[in-house]
Amino acid sequence: MLQIEIDNLNKHYGGFHALKNIDIAIRNGSFVALVGPSGCGKSTLLRTLAGLEKTSSGDIRIAGTSVIAKPPRERDVAMVFQSYALYPHMDVEHNMNYSMRLKRRPRPEIAARTRAAAETLGLGGLLDRLPKALSGGQRQRVAMGRAIVRNPKVFLFDEPLSNLDAALRVHMRSEIRKLHERLEATSVYVTHDQVEAMTMADHIVVMRLGVVEQQGSPLDLYDKPANKFVAGFIGSPAMNFIPVVVGPDGQSLVIEQDLAQPLVLNRKLNPGSRLWAGLRPEHLSFAPVKGDLALNADVESVESTGSMTFVTAGVASQQLVVAHSGRPGVERGAVIRLHISLENIHLFDRETELAVSG
């Protein structure tokens, strides 16, 4: 069953076209990440879902009914703001139960639901604190608590973790994910961090410049990026791109401006077409793999995180980043053999940047 349907949605800020023909369908209970670079319209889309922004055209349906003409409070959605937007003059308890007090719920119910949410989020001892007496992580939890007590149809998150330090961010990711599994409420989660999107969501919508570039499951986007932008955006470190030209046989890729040996693929391509060859850092290795092709490369830099090592290797005039788990034992300035797993090469048209199959 579909919980949220966004149909051909457009949003203009004066002359600026912020959202262009957005079509998204979100299943009941799923966790959807809206991801894309800063300024691509993620927050705008989330806010139009909440009803905080007016739409220019198109339709939004929540649980089957159009909410386009409804004010935020009639949409039954809860939102966690990036800034948390806590009420500064209310203590934690009153921040969380404001919505219930507005609805004049019976006192025992308010108390019980507030206590339950506080317990879930580990805020039990903080109920009478003002927001200014809380740490960033605690404020974030209060903001979530305020959403949870309402038991809404849809949870909206706008970069809720971006103001936390790295360790807490990783911890909260799994907390939010666990919470989602418990509450089973549909969630839309905005982030500019593709790792966050990949680890938390079961459906990812990649946006750029107000357009949905691609949507699908995390591994779908990783394995079958529809265009060069998605290929470069999903995955860390980012995919390497080399300009290539298809040779007359329709199978070999000649690296442009280089006389190095061509990459011969078992695919049917248009001879002479100009493409980007996309190689994920983890599909390059220093040891032979099945169906690979080896090139000579100069080691230009070596960065190790301990468990992973990232090597920048120069192949002719191109630079390729290689991700190696463990310590490869190569040194800067060395000349090595770089093995490319040919079946994992992604190809994109250099004009349209769309994925090319063959």
Partner 1 sequence: MQGIIRTIRDGSGFDILLLLLALVYLVAFSAFPIIYNIIMSLQTVDMFTIASFDRPFVGLKNYYDILSQPLASTIFWNTVKFVVLSIVFQLSIGFGLALFFQQDFPGATWLRGLFLAGWIMPALVVGAIWKWLLAGDFGVINYILMSSGVTDERIFWLSDPDVALYAVIIANVWLGIPFNMLLLSVGLAGIPRDVYEAAELDGAGAFERFRSITLPLMRAQLGAVISLGVIFTLQQFDLIAALTQGGPANSSNVAQYWSWQLSFQTYEISLGSAVSVMMILFVIVVAAVYVRSTHHEHSY
- Where does this chain bind Mg ion (CB under 5 A)? 43
> Distance (Å, rounded) from C-alpha 352 to C-alpha 67?
36
Minimum CB–partner distance for residue 144 and partner 1 (Å) = 12
3-class SS at 14? coil
Return the one option of ligand ADP, Mg ion, partner 1, none that residue 39 interacts with (CB less than 5 to 8 A, by type).
Answer: ligand ADP
Can residue 85 be called a binding residue for partner 1 (CB under 8 A)? Answer: yes
Can residue 54 be called a binding residue for partner 1 (CB under 8 A)? Answer: no
Q: Can you tell me which of 27, 59, 66, 103 binds partner 1, judged by CB under 8 A?
A: 103
Which residues neighbour 233 within 8 Å (Cβ) at sequence distance 6 or greater?
A: 35, 36, 37, 194, 206, 208
Minimum CB–partner distance for residue 193 and ligand ADP (Å) = 12
Can residue 72 be called a binding residue for partner 1 (CB under 8 A)? Answer: yes
Minimum CB–partner distance for residue 261 and ligand ADP (Å) = 43
Nearer to partner 1, 90 or 183 (CB): 90
Minimum CB–partner distance for residue 243 and partner 1 (Å) = 45
Alpha-carbon distances of 187 from 30, 79, 140, 181, 282, rounded to whole Å: 6, 10, 17, 11, 31
Which residues neighbour 83 within 8 Å (Cβ) at sequence distance 6 or greater?
A: 163
Minimum CB–partner distance for residue 10 and Mg ion (Å) = 19
Return the one option of Mg ion, partner 1, ligand ADP, none that residue 16 interacts with (CB less than 5 to 8 A, by type).
Answer: ligand ADP
Return the one option of partner 1, ligand ADP, Mg ion, none that residue 103 interacts with (CB less than 5 to 8 A, by type).
Answer: partner 1
Nearer to partner 1, 110 or 255 (CB): 110
Return the one option of partner 1, ligand ADP, Mg ion, none that residue 18 interacts with (CB less than 5 to 8 A, by type).
Answer: ligand ADP
> Distance (Å, rounded) from C-alpha 16 to C-alpha 246?
39
Return the one option of ligand ADP, Mg ion, partner 1, none that residue 44 interacts with (CB less than 5 to 8 A, by type).
Answer: ligand ADP
Q: Can you tell me which of 10, 20, 21, 52 binds partner 1, judged by CB under 8 A?
A: 52
Can residue 92 be called a binding residue for partner 1 (CB under 8 A)? Answer: no
127: exposed, middle or buried (Cβ count in 10 Å: 0-12, 13-18, 19+): middle
Q: Which stretch binds partner 1 (CB under 8 A): 9-17, 95-103, 197-205, 218-226?
A: 95-103
Encoded tokens for 269? 């391509």
> Distance (Å, rounded) from C-alpha 115 to C-alpha 119?
6
Q: Residue with the closest Cβ to ligand ADP?
A: 43
Q: Which stretch binds partner 1 (CB under 8 A): 84-92, 318-326, 336-344, 345-353?
A: 84-92
> Distance (Å, rounded) from C-alpha 346 to C-alpha 357?
8
Alpha-carbon distances of 270 from 54, 214, 245, 247, 350, rounded to whole Å: 46, 25, 10, 9, 13
Binding mask 116-155 for partner 1 (x = CB under 8 A): ----------------x-------------x---x-----
Nearer to ligand ADP, 15 or 106 (CB): 15
Amino acid at position 222, single letter: Y
DSSP H or E segment with residue 211: strand 211-216
Alpha-carbon distances of 103 from 85, 96, 100, rounded to whole Å: 20, 13, 5
Can residue 13 be called a binding residue for partner 1 (CB under 8 A)? Answer: no
Can residue 88 be called a binding residue for partner 1 (CB under 8 A)? Answer: yes
> Distance (Å, rounded) from C-alpha 116 to C-alpha 122?
10
325 forms beta bridges with 308
Phi-psi region of 316 (alpha: psi -120 to 50; beta: other; left: phi over 0): left
Q: Can you give the binding site for partner 1, defined by CB under 8 A? A: 50, 52, 71-73, 77-79, 81, 83, 85-89, 98-99, 102-103, 132, 146, 150
